[in-house]
Structure 1
Amino acid sequence: MSLLLGVVPSSVYRWEAKAGKPIRLDPGNLRLLTALTGFISHKPPEVVAEWGASITAALVTRGGLFALFKALEAVFGALGDETFCA
């Protein structure tokens, strides 16, 4: 799944080398991470845990692309087509 998001070992090494300095993220990745953070920040811990378990199950049983789809579906699916495509 990390490869689908553009995260490779060299990305992690660069982030670790920054040692607390701001990290520049790809705008698309930043938008996705912001959406995921916003999605879970308003949910009770039990719901977040259940959602995390379902994403993990999707990752294990069907692979990274399906898990990414399920995460995006949960975050953007409730917004409606016009918001998702904007």
Structure 2
Amino acid sequence: MPVLLNRVVAWLREGYPTGVPAQDYIPLLALLRRRMTDDEVAAIAAELADEGMLVDTTDIAVSISKVTDAVPSEADVERVKDHLAFRGFPT
């Protein structure tokens, strides 16, 4: 197992030595939610900028969904917006 995954498993075992109670599954999954990598953010921003059109939050969210196969978080949409703005591309 990767080092990070080993740390997460060890942390869970220490906090829940008898197993995770059913009511704690959802909060734990929320903590382990996927976050886009910097490379994914840059690739999505580059693809949107290369299209040469004005993009809005919906366009960004759709592009993120295509890459991650998940509903994008507001934080990830903002990261792509910020990357586009840094490149001088209006959103």
Q: TM-score when scaled to structure 1? A: 0.28
Q: Which has the higher contact order (CA 8 A, sep 6+)?
A: 1
Q: TM-score when scaled to structure 2? A: 0.27
**Which structure dedicates a bigger proportion of its chain to helix?**
1
Point out the structure with max Rg over C-alpha: 2
